[in-house]
């Protein structure tokens, strides 16, 4: 299908009084057209900062510390998104026009002082030469597409009139206003109750199939990834430590961190036979990322003199699965209970 987005060695740092926070420390991943890439990791792993750097929407104090982001436009041309692009015409055309974004909190995207319809119409009219009437018809069409109840009524409502799940639908409608080829979804279901979460996931999945867009789906929840993603990238302390298909990541994880994360999630009906284990230690302070493999202080398989000294290179498997671990490919015993 072809490459849509490619990140190469992206780094984003935040200088603070107490030192430099290396929030994103050389992240590479790619997304093909029409593909769903799940980005999983604990909070503070750099998932969101990386995604925001694609859109050049990182906070004002963020320092672009290198790397490149390439995006294939609808017209077939390729753009190199760089720091200078932050305010450029190209970036404005991409944001909302070719790349849509949805967040955990809908009110980061929706304005409280305008109706849902007005907000969608503005986005449509910013990117396309259409009349007001056409833009309004498009808004109603989009609200219908996201299965909003009573779209003809909701179009004239303000966000505070809507429930959490309906706001999430409105934000998705806004993100889809100009038929993006890429949707970046940052924990879009995390704040919702389980039933609404399942509905929104189902909606995103069916929209993705209907519209053929690609999604970068960011979550801390492995269960959600299993539902929606084709491929998965696992992040730890500002790096991608493993990538593979959903099946590879779930059934044949190669990196000890991925293995440990999977052991820490409950499986339905499995609790009796399989004790849940948490990963020992805690995520290190981002001011002092450990030397060598940053997971080594918590890893049951660390080799002294190697793991605590040398940053692991990418180990590439024939299937395409990639793990950044010195021991990837070895059959590692499960640590004793």
Binding footprint of ligand SF4 on the chain (CB under 6 A): 255-256, 293, 295-296, 299, 301-303, 307, 312, 325-327
Q: CB under 5 to 8 A by kind: which of ligand SF4, Mg ion, none does 326 bind?
A: ligand SF4
Q: 48 or 321, CB closer to ligand SF4? A: 321
Distance, in Å, from the CA atom of 182 to the CA atom of 42, rounded to the nearest integer, reads 24
Least Å from the CB of residue 290 to ligand SF4: 9
Taking the C-alpha atoms of residue 182 and residue 29, their distance in angstroms, rounded to an integer, is 14
Picked from ligand SF4, Mg ion, none, the partner binding residue 91 (CB below 5 to 8 A depending on kind) is none
Nearer to ligand SF4 among residue 24 and residue 307 (C-beta): 307
Name which of 151 and 286 has its Cβ closer to ligand SF4: 286
CB of 316 to ligand SF4, least distance (A): 15
Interaction between residue 48 and Mg ion (CB under 5 A)? yes
Binding to Mg ion by residue 189, rule CB under 5 A? no
Distance CA 42, CA 287 (A): 17
Residues 224-252 as b or e (16 or more Cβ within 10 Å = b): bbebbbbbbbbbbbbbbbbbbbbebbeee
- Our CB check for ligand SF4 shows the closer of 58 and 259 to be 259
Which residue lies nearer to ligand SF4 by CB, 158 or 317?
A: 317
Distance between CA atoms of residues 143 and 141, nearest Å? 6
Q: Are 133 and 148 in contact (CB under 8 A)?
A: no
In the structure encoding, which two tokens stand for residue 148, read together?
């909003």
DSSP 216-279: EEEES-HHHHHHH-SEEEEEETTEEEEEEEHHHHHHS--SHHHHHHHHTS--TTTTTTS---PP
Pair of tokens at residue 204: 């995103």
Smaller CB separation from Mg ion, 181 or 189: 189
Binding partner selected for residue 302 from ligand SF4, Mg ion, none, CB under the kind-specific 5 to 8 Å limit: ligand SF4
- Partner from Mg ion, ligand SF4, none binding residue 44, C-beta < 5-8 Å depending on class: none
**53 in contact with Mg ion (CB under 5 A):** no
Using CB under 5 A, list all residues that contact Mg ion.
48
């Amino acid at each position: 299908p072809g490459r849509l987005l490619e990140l190469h060695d992206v780094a984003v740092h935040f200088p603070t009084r107490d030192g430099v926070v290396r929030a994103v420390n050389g992240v590479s991943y790619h997304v093909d057209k029409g593909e769903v890439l799940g980005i999983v990791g604990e909070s503070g792993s750099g998932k969101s900062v990386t995604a925001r750097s694609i859109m050049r929407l990182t906070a004002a104090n963020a320092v672009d510390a290198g790397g490149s982001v390439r995006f294939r436009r609808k017209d077939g041309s390729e753009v190199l998104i760089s720091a200078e692009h932050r305010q450029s015409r190209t970036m404005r055309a991409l944001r909302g026009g070719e790349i849509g974004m949805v967040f955990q909190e809908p009110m980061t995207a929706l304005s409280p002082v305008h109706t849902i319809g007005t907000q969608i119409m503005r986005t449509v009219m910013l990117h396309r030469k259409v009349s007001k009437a056409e833009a309004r018809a498009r808004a109603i069409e989009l609200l219908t597409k996201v299965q909003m109840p009573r779209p003809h009524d909701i179009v004239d409502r303000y966000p505070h009139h809507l429930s959490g799940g309906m706001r999430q639908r409105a934000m998705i409608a806004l993100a889809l206003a100009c038929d993006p080829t890429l949707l970046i979804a940052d924990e879009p279901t995390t704040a919702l109750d389980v039933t609404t979460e399942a509905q929104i996931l189902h909606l995103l999945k069916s929209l993705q199939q209907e519209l053929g867009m690609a999604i970068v789906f960011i979550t801390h929840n492995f269960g959600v990834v299993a539902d929606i993603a084709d491929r998965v990238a696992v992040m730890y302390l500002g790096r991608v430590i493993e990538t593979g298909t959903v099946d590879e990541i779930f059934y044949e994880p190669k990196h000890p961190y991925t293995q440990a994360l999977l052991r820490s999630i409950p499986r339905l009906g499995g609790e009796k036979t399989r004790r849940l284990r948490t990963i020992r230690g805690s995520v290190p302070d981002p001011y002092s990322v450990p030397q060598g493999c940053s997971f080594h202080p918590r890893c049951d398989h660390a080799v002294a003199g190697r793991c605590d000294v040398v940053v692991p290179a990418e180990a590439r498997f024939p299937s395409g699965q990639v793990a950044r671990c010195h021991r990837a490919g070895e059959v590692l015993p499960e640590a004793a209970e």
